[in-house]
Amino acid sequence: MTSVLAVSQLVKTYKGLFGPEQRALRGLTLSVPQGAAFGLIGPNGAGKTTFIKVLLGVVRPTSGEVTVLGGDPQDTAVRARIGYLPERMHLPAALRGRDFLRSVSTLKGLTVSDAQLTSLLERVGLRTGDQRVGTFSKGMRQRLGLAAAMLGEPELLILDEPTDGIDPVGRVEVRALLLEEKKRGATILLNSHLLTETERICDRIGVLDHGQLKLEGTLDDVRKAASSWAVRFEGEVSAEAAGFARSDAGWTFEGDVVGLNEAIDAARAAGLRVVSITPRTRDLEAVLTESLRTGP
């Protein structure tokens, strides 16, 4: 499968003027396939912003390899194929929404008609492009920034907190919009503290902490990585001797697949019959919390 972005042994170290150097990224290796919606999660200071800056060609890595859309992120031709929504946008207050999008399209080397701008504004939930940006609410500014990122139907969308300041109804609209972009074939890299939104949009997840990738994979696999299993036995039986614990839903086992199989063998040797085995999934909050327990 083609990778839209791939990094190998990525290291970024910032040298302090008066203090020790700080290593923001520590040998990060990651590949995101074409058409995926990848959610990057982690605590503040994990290295997420530095990683995004490296992908955008804004920051050069200290060492390691970086490939974005098959090329060097420093290449302007590669940058032109990326749509970016920063976490903190500084929009010109005097410009009207439509004029801002037109200026962005010029910077990207795009030719966009008024009808196309109107359609794009409507897609992001802005009913008019004639209002000055200075009168926009935070949510409206966020929608305008998203429209700017989507100009020209970029192959890669890098979105930093895309629903920040948007109300719950608006989040539903933005979520539907991003899923439409994914269906179009765009690859999405989403950085958000709203883990529920990340779950609803992304099909792959990466947990970053202290510049290291602690966990990465499909959403289903990551949520099943809890090493917790719900097991049902036939009849009213006790499975405690085999290593199972009683729960409201029956019996549970905490451990990896090898340990589970050993416990199942012990239960069968004791005369118990297994009816079903189901991996217990977690939400992303639990995934993040458990991943961070292992430390840097």
Position 71 scores a pLDDT of 95
pLDDT higher than 70, residue 1 = no
Position 295 scores a pLDDT of 54
Position 83 scores a pLDDT of 95
Find the mean pLDDT for residues 189-212.
Answer: 91
Domains in the chain (CATH in brackets) are 3-222 (3.40.50.300), 227-280 (no CATH)
Position 236 scores a pLDDT of 66
Position 278 scores a pLDDT of 84
pLDDT in tens, 4-45: 999 999 999 988 766 678 889 999 999 999 999 999 998 888
Q: In terms of Cα–Cα distance, which of 19, 21, 37, 23 is closest to 9?
A: 23
Between the alpha carbon of residue 172 and those of residues 5, 37, 149, 161, 167, the distances in Å are 27, 16, 18, 14, 9
pLDDT higher than 70, residue 214 = yes
Whole-number mean pLDDT of the chain? 88
Proportion of the chain in helix, strand, coil states, percent, rounded to 5 = 35, 30, 35
Residue 225: band (very low, low, confident or very high) from pLDDT cuts 50, 70, 90: low
